[in-house]
Amino acid sequence: MAFSVPIASVLSGASARQLGYWRRRTSSSEPLLIPFAQRSGRYLYSWADIVALRSIVYLRQEKSLPRIREAVRSLRKLEESEWEHLAQYVLVRTTETIVVKTPKGEILDLERAPGTVLEEVLMEDVLGSFEANGSRVAALPRPRPYLSVNPGVLGGYPVIAGSRVPFHVVAALADEGAAPNDIVEIYPSVDPLGVPDAQDFAHQVALAA
């Protein structure tokens, strides 16, 4: 499943402008994250991209972008033989440094003493809700109480919880005047309480476009 820039923006907490900046190569560094595809001039993000973007947004609240770029550069070098995607790793901020939990379970320092194995550190979940840019980024698994984001269902595309019906399908029907009970008749797996959540999320995505 591919995610457009507006949906990637809402799910990750990064603005469309930030996503564009992080795609660029600078005079001193490689792009921070390039989406997995580009079609007809439009960038498309993967599920792994979304998870990685949330890590960056999460770190960005306390760490400067140059420090994050340097940490990712160190991680790529340390994990050169294992590297596939940034989303394999759990990046965490502490007051002194940036640390990472590798797929093997090791916890490494990426700033103060790159490559040093740490015994224990508080691992905060970037998939949960957190503050960023003066607003709250919703928890990725439940961006709304009746919306669900699960990589095992439509590749992580937001759907009405308990169903496989995409949020935008329900929002479009509601915007055209269909009542929740009418939508449930078409899609019996849809909880009628999910209709306003789908509309609200669709509105946020439209604002991010």
The CA distance from 174 to 176, in Å, is 5
- CB 85 within 8 Å of CB 52: yes
Domains delineated in the chain: 5-137 (no CATH), 147-208 (1.10.10.10)
Residue 148: phi, psi to the nearest 5?
A: -130, 140
> Tens digit of pLDDT for each residue in 144-192?
999 999 989 999 999 999 999 999 999 999 999 999 999 999 999 999 9
Q: Which residues contact 12 (CB under 8 A, 6 or more apart)?
A: 19, 50, 53, 54, 56, 57, 137
Q: Looking at residue 117, what is its pLDDT?
A: 60
> Tens digit of pLDDT for each residue in 85-133?
888 888 877 777 888 888 888 888 888 777 666 554 444 457 889 888 7
- CB 109 within 8 Å of CB 91: no
